[in-house]
Amino acid sequence: MPASGIEVLFEGRNLVRLLGGLWTSLWIALSAMAVSVVLGLPMGVLMTSRHRLVKLVLRIYLEAIRVLPQLVLLFVFYFDLTLVTGVNLSGELAALIVFALWGTAEMGDLVRGAISAIPRHQYQSAAALGLRPTQVQFHVVLPQSARRLLPLAVNLVTRMIKTTSLIVLIGVVEVLKVGQQIIDRNRFDFPDAALWVYATIFLLYFLVCFPISRLAQALERKLDL
Amino acid sequence: MELSVLRAYLPAYLQAAEATLAIAGLGLVGSTLLGLVIAVAQYFRWPGARPVTAVYVELSRNTPLVVQLFFLYYGLPKLGLVWGSGVCAVVGLTFLGGSYMAEACRSGLEAVEPHQSQSALALGLGPGPALRHVVLPQALALATPAFTANAIFLIKETSVVSIIAYPDLVYVAKDYIGNDYNTSEALALLVAFYLVILLPVSLGAAAWERRLRHAGFGD
């Protein structure tokens, strides 16, 4: 009887290897996200400052990162920057740098949006109560912005994880690459392996991203009440 | 950077840009139609629409396009569904974009006050004409900012289709990097072509939004 192909997943360590490949992507995504949060917070605060030049520079950074597909940025860093600077970047490191740059820009914009959404009377009331500008920021503006920011930042995590799937195009051995290896290895025993392997990878991404999206939605609803 | 190399590569990039724009355009049309159908189905509570569309939206939004394309191009043929890379690219973009467009249309539809459709019905319009002439024009104007943001997102997402061997801009750039080692030239052209495509779209979208807001719709 010809095998349907689903058995290929349970041959040897295939499933474990797929999970290992997924972890490579997740590890890069989560590291880039951590950098983005750390750098994006001050960036967003600076984007709401009164200094024209600071605002202009950050705006240009944001738009320059945003206008191009992330894959193009990845190519420029992976192929070109290494040529120009002579520094040899691994695919993982190039990806980490690019996604951190992108994430910082996106996070900065989310923080800017959250701060801008604070009504002006909050500032005025705080000032009327005698708070100094730094106190207004730390005790009035930032705590309220954080509540608005949280669901959006959680959502950015799923976008980051989905974006990280691009690293297969610069030769990082991640879940899709491991999947290809498994399919090629079992070409003769399980000719239909591709269907099951790619369906599994699809499902794995869904299982990772769905709970995070749900968390973001729940936070958003909780905030509305 | 060699100018002569840039010139020699230009024709191939122009052709690839056409290929990129073709799938972006078709993907955009497909996503918009799918999104509109889903939003209207949810709005009128067609029987069974909620659970089916909810499953689709969650699957579409919580998986990357790269993985969707791999499944369509390499997985589905095992079930007897063999599509070319262009068809897969458009189907993939539609699958991805449909959920984003549905969300844009849904928020637009919900923002049109119920008395608008009630008044239309009271004036004797049938449900179809009321939707076409009264609700949708207003809803679509309200959905414009989200729509243009999605359009730009989808055009950028087309950049991954070279993984299923569709000859787009990235495919050509990779080809020249691999064959000629003219990395800087190939990437400079890649960036330039995406800027030429994306900048007018971004600026045009911003201008269009301003006009709609001026007409008293945008907020």
Domains of chain A, by residue range, sit at 6-224
Q: What are the DSSP E strand ranges found in A61-184?
A: none
Look at A165 and B76 and tell me if their CB atoms are within 8 Å.
no
Q: pLDDT over 70 for what percent of chain A?
A: 97
CB contact at 8 A, B19 and B165: no
- Show which of residues 53-112 on chain A sit within 8 Å of chain B, judged by CB atoms: 67-72, 75-76, 79-80, 83-84
Q: Write down the pLDDT at residue B216.
A: 53
User: Which among B71, B163, B202 has CB closest to A67?
Assistant: B202
pLDDT tens-digit readout, B111-129: 888 888 889 999 999 888 8
Look at B77 and A84 and tell me if their CB atoms are within 8 Å.
no
Q: Write down the pLDDT at residue B218.
A: 44
**For domain B3-214, is the CATH number 3.90.1150.10?**
no
pLDDT tens-digit readout, B87-109: 999 999 999 999 999 999 999 98
Closest C-alpha among A197, A110, A80 to residue B184: A80
Does A225 have pLDDT greater than 60? Answer: no
CB contact at 8 A, A148 and A114: yes
Look at B75 and A195 and tell me if their CB atoms are within 8 Å.
yes
Look at A69 and B184 and tell me if their CB atoms are within 8 Å.
no
pLDDT tens-digit readout, A94-126: 999 999 999 999 999 999 999 998 998 999 999
**Mutate which of B59, B78, B155 to test chain A, going by most A C-beta atoms within 10 A?**
B78
pLDDT (mean) for A141-159: 92
Does B212 have pLDDT greater than 90? Answer: no
pLDDT tens-digit readout, A66-88: 999 999 999 999 988 888 888 88
Q: Write down the pLDDT at residue B25.
A: 97
Q: Write down the pLDDT at residue B219.
A: 44
- The set of residues, in sequence order, having a beta carbon less than 8 Å from that of B26 and lying 6+ positions away, is B90, B93
CB contact at 8 A, A59 and A47: yes
Average pLDDT, chain B: 91
CB contact at 8 A, A66 and A23: no
Closest C-alpha among A150, A126, A169, A145 to residue A217: A150
Q: Write down the pLDDT at residue B22.
A: 97
- Using a CB cutoff of 8 Å and minimum separation of 24, what contacts does A87-96 make? A91/A167, A91/A170, A91/A171, A91/A172, A92/A24, A92/A28, A92/A167, A92/A172, A94/A170, A95/A28, A95/A32, A95/A164, A95/A166, A95/A167, A95/A170, A95/A172, A96/A28, A96/A31, A96/A32, A96/A35
**Residue A65, CB-side half-sphere exposure with 13 Å CA sphere:** 18
**Mutate which of A72, A88, A178 to test chain B, going by most B C-beta atoms within 10 A?**
A72
d(CA B208, CA B219): 14
Q: pLDDT over 90 for what percent of chain A?
A: 67
Q: Using 50, 70 and 90 to split pLDDT, how confident is the model at B46?
A: confident
User: How many Cβ atoms are within 10 Å of B218's Cβ, its own excluded?
Assistant: 14
Task: Quote ipTM for the complex.
Answer: 0.89
Does B217 have pLDDT greater than 50? Answer: no
Q: Using 50, 70 and 90 to split pLDDT, how confident is the model at B60?
A: very high
Look at A80 and B160 and tell me if their CB atoms are within 8 Å.
no
User: Which among A76, A179, A210 has CB closest to B191?
Assistant: A76
Write phi, then psi, for A187 (nearest 5 degrees): -50, -40
Does B215 have pLDDT greater than 70? Answer: no
CB contact at 8 A, A102 and A28: no
Closest C-alpha among B172, B64, B76, B157 to residue A176: B64
Look at A76 and B187 and tell me if their CB atoms are within 8 Å.
yes
Kindly list the distances between the CA atom of residue A44 and the CA atoms of A98, A152, A161, in Å, as whole numbers in the listed order: 19, 14, 22
Give domain A6-224's CATH superfamily: MetI-like (1.10.3720.10)
pLDDT tens-digit readout, A12-71: 888 889 999 999 999 999 999 999 999 999 999 999 988 999 999 999 999 999 999 999
A194 touches chain B (CB under 8 A): yes
pLDDT tens-digit readout, B15-43: 999 999 999 999 999 999 999 999 989 88
A158 touches chain B (CB under 8 A): yes
Q: Write down the pLDDT at residue A84.
A: 82
CB contact at 8 A, B194 and A72: yes
Look at B159 and A69 and tell me if their CB atoms are within 8 Å.
yes
Both tokens of B65, joined, read 């396009």
Q: Write down the pLDDT at residue B103.
A: 92
pLDDT tens-digit readout, B135-183: 888 888 888 889 999 999 999 999 999 999 999 999 999 999 999 988 9
Q: Write down the pLDDT at residue A65.
A: 93
Q: How large is the C-alpha radius of gyration of chain B? A: 21
